């Protein structure tokens, strides 16, 4: 099947995408409408036969069977022997989900209710700091314990009516210092997000925050909450059990903001809006399980990605939200996709015979248009683009400006597809130059075009819609991982650097020599210590 797809890719290499629109039904037939959203992949070089060949991959790899195994609690994370059940965190209707013979839903829903009770107490002022009602909430985490809620807090700012939210992740002291300097310790709640309560970056920042708070607050533990399963360690830190919210090992960090990791977001937007966010994710789960492949939004998003990355060999993809409040979505998806599918061996431990996940990057439009779009339009590498845009913004009285935003989004995908040939470029400057200089100037204005893009359009970025979008990309990662035959749910690639950092710490501190290190590392340690480290 891969050979067939590679042959198809080679055969259409010179075909212009815009010629596919000679079929008047092209746009309708190469898009998916579901849950009030429209996913348009018509501006790609996928034709009906290619789509059939791509869909055949789903059946050959038994994606449907693997999908049901995931939802039912089978340990599909085979290298760690764990189920993959972030979907259970948004299973608000409480249908049984069994792990090792036990229904996990009663505990999931109980934890959600506990979170809601605490969030309401913080928002109402019933729960207070030493100086009165909580004005600021600092979430200290890293990776999935930070990227998800931090991204969502920005995305849902129009729905934010609770205390100010702050997010600290980097062990660089500048991050925690600058955040603490903007808060009053007497009215600040600190949430420490670490499943094991041992994550070195998170716990270092947590201890710094505790020392800062202790300069003013007599009982610092009373103004801390923990998102952790390590009850003994949270107790040692001084956090009472009623402010500790745990989650099972079948929730991976980058899939975790649907549960306790989303506590800061819940405090900011309120339990009702947070439940709407969960409902959106649950709706996408239902769609993913029920829709036929051609009408299945996550499946088709995944197949487009596989076509561009594994078949055509495009090494990156750009995520370009024309929605400023999704400014952190590309960073969130970098972790979701690259930590999940950035693997080099298959499930059976054999080397992959093809490239795995692409490099994911991006920025919101229209900012990117005045930055890296130059490379996208005229560079030598093809970068498949994924646009996102809302029909409606939140800013009353500025509807005309939002329509300008939409026009820019649609124009970019059209320009990527159509380009500008030499004759048109030449006519643009014919009155300004002549002879050889005219030819030279025209060449600089040629856009090759034929560059693929997709667009996800939705009515308005509200909590439910955000839930749909995040779940859409989660399931996209799942489908791509199954088709590629890799485990999307472990992340051994983050371990080696952590181990070496632990070993280097006493060398940087001057407690050990760097004699056993390579010359480059030893030289760098020497330079940094000589200059104040």
* Residues belonging to the active site: 339, 370, 498
- Is-cis flag, bond preceding 366, omega within 30? yes
Q: Which of 455, 491, 532 is nearest to 30 (CA)?
A: 455
Token match 């920005």: residue?
A: 154
Quote the distance between the C-alpha of residue 530 and its chain's center.
40
Q: Which of 101, 100, 117, 99 is nearest to 109 (CA)?
A: 117
Are 339 and 254 contacting, i.e. CB atoms less than 8 angstroms apart? Answer: yes
**Tally: H helices and E strands in the chain:** 21, 14
Q: Which of 302, 259, 281 is nearest to 107 (CA)?
A: 259
Q: Which two tokens stand for residue 165?
A: 């939210």
DSSP state for residue 209 in the 8-state scheme: H
SS3 assignment, position 458: strand
Angle ∠(383,325,278) on CA atoms, nearest 5: 100
DSSP state for residue 274 in the 8-state scheme: H
CA–CA separation, 343 and 357 (whole Å): 7
User: What's the per-residue H, E or C state across 27-93?
Assistant: HHHCEEEECCEEEECCCCCCCHHHHHHHHHHHHHCCHHHHHHHHHHCCCCECCCCECCCHHHHHCCC
- Is-cis flag, bond preceding 101, omega within 30? no
SS3 assignment, position 215: coil
Q: Which residues contact 30 (CB under 8 A, 6 or more apart)?
A: 40, 41, 42, 44, 46, 51
């Amino acid at each position: 099947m891969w050979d067939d797809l590679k042959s198809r890719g080679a055969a259409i290499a010179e075909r212009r995408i815009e010629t596919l629109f000679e079929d008047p039904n092209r746009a309708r037939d190469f898009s998916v409408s579901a849950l009030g959203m429209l996913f348009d992949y018509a501006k790609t070089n996928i034709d009906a036969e290619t789509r059939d060949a791509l869909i055949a991959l789903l059946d050959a790899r038994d994606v449907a069977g693997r999908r049901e195994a995931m939802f039912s609690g089978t340990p599909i994370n085979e290298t760690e022997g764990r189920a993959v059940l972030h979907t259970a965190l948004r299973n608000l209707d409480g249908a049984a989900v069994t792990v090792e013979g036990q229904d996990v839903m009663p505990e999931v829903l109980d934890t959600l209710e506990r979170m809601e009770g605490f969030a309401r107490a913080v928002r109402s002022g019933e729960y207070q700091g030493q100086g009165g009602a909580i004005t600021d909430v600092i979430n200290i985490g890293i990776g999935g314990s930070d990227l998800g809620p931090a991204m969502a807090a920005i995305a849902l700012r129009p729905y934010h009516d609770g205390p100010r939210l702050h997010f600290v992740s980097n062990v660089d002291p500048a991050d925690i210092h600058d955040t603490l300097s903007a808060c009053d310790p007497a009215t600040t709640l600190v949430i420490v997000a670490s499943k094991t309560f041992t994550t070195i970056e998170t716990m270092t920042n947590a201890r710094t925050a505790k020392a800062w708070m202790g300069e003013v607050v007599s009982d610092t533990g009373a103004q801390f909450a923990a998102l952790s399963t390590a009850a003994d360690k949270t107790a040692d830190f001084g956090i009472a059990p009623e402010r500790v919210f745990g989650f099972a090992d079948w929730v991976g960090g980058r899939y975790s903001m649907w549960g306790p990791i989303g506590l800061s977001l819940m405090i900011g937007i309120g339990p009702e809006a947070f439940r709407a966010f969960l409902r959106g994710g649950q709706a996408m789960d239902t769609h993913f399980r029920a829709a036929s492949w051609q009408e299945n939004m996550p499946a088709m998003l995944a197949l487009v990605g596989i076509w561009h990355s594994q078949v055509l060999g495009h090494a990156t993809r750009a995520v370009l939200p024309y929605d400023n409040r999704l400014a952190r979505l590309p960073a969130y998806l970098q972790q979701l996709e690259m930590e999940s599918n950035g693997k080099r061996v298959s499930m059976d431990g054999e080397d992959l015979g093809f490239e795995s996940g692409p490099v994911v990057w991006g920025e919101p439009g229209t900012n990117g248009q005045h930055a890296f779009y130059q490379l996208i339009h005229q560079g030598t590498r093809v970068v498949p683009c994924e646009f996102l845009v809302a029909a409606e913004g939140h800013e009353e009285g500025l509807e005309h400006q939002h329509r300008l935003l939409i026009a820019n989004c649609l124009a970019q995908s059209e320009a990527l597809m159509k380009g500008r040939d030499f004759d048109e470029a030449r006519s643009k400057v014919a009155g300004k130059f002549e002879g050889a200089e005219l030819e030279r100037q025209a060449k600089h204005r040629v856009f090759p075009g034929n560059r693929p893009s997709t667009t996800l359009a939705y009515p308005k970025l509200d909590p439910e819609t955000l839930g749909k979008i995040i779940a859409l990309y989660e399931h996209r990662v799942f489908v791509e991982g199954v088709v590629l035959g890799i485990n999307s749910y472990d992340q051994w690639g983050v371990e080696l650097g952590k181990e070496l950092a632990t070993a280097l710490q006493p060398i940087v501190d001057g407690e050990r020599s760097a004699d056993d290190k390579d010359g480059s590392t030893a030289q760098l340690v020497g330079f940094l210590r000589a200059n104040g480290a």
